[in-house]
Amino acid sequence: MKRLFLILTLFFVLINSIVFAASSTVKQKIHVQSVDGFSINAVLEYPKVKSRKEFSTVVLLHSLGYSSQWWETLPDELLAKGYAVLKIDLRGHGQSIYNSKLSRSSWSNMTTSAFAKYPDDVIKVMDKVKADNNKKVFFKNWAFVGADIGASTAVLASDKYAVKPKTIIMLSPVVEVRDLYIPVNLAHLTDVDVLTIIGTDDVSGKKAVEYLKKFAQAAFVTYTSEARSTGMLMLKNDNSLAKIIATWLGDYL
- Cα–Cα distances (Å) from 36 to 22, 51, 76, 132, in that order, read 36, 40, 33, 22
CA distance 146 to 151: 4
The whole domain housing 165 covers 26-250
Residue 8 inside a domain? The answer is no
Residue 76 domain flag: yes
CB 74 within 8 A of CB 60: yes
Q: How far apart are CA 114 and CA 94, in angstroms?
A: 16
Plot region of 167 (φ>0 → left; ψ -120 to 50 → alpha; else → beta): beta
232 belongs to a structural domain: yes
Cα–Cα distance, 76 to 108 (Å, whole number): 30
Q: How many residues does the chain have?
A: 253
- Number of domains comprising the chain: 1
The reported pTM is 0.90
Measured at the CA of 119, the angle between CA 113 and CA 125, to 5 degrees, comes to: 120
5, part of any domain: no
pLDDT at 134: 67
- Is 13 part of a structural domain of the chain? no
d(CA 158, CA 7): 53
Say if CB 152 and CB 56 are below 8 A apart: no
Using DSSP, state whether 133 is helix, strand or coil: coil
Q: Are 58 and 169 in contact (CB under 8 A)?
A: no
**CATH of residue 192:** 3.40.50.1820
In a domain, 91, yes or no: yes
Whether 20 maps to a domain, the answer reads no
- In the DSSP assignment, the letter for residue 83 is -
pLDDT given at position 246: 98
pLDDT digits (tens, 9 = 90+) for 52-99: 778 999 999 999 999 999 999 999 999 999 999 999 999 999 999 999
Query: For 131-184, how does the pLDDT look when each residue is reduced to its tens digit (9 = 90+)?
Result: 987 677 778 899 999 999 999 999 999 999 999 999 999 999 999 999 999 999
What is the per-residue pLDDT across 198-238, written as a single tens digit (0 to 9) for each? 999 999 999 999 999 999 999 999 999 999 999 999 999 99
**Distance set, CA 210 to CA 17, 55, 196, 214, 232 (Å):** 47, 34, 11, 7, 21
Helical ranges in 116-250 per DSSP H: 118-132, 149-160, 183-188, 203-213, 233-237, 241-250
In a domain, 234, yes or no: yes
What is the DSSP code string of 91-114? TTBTTB-B-TTS-B--GGG--HHH
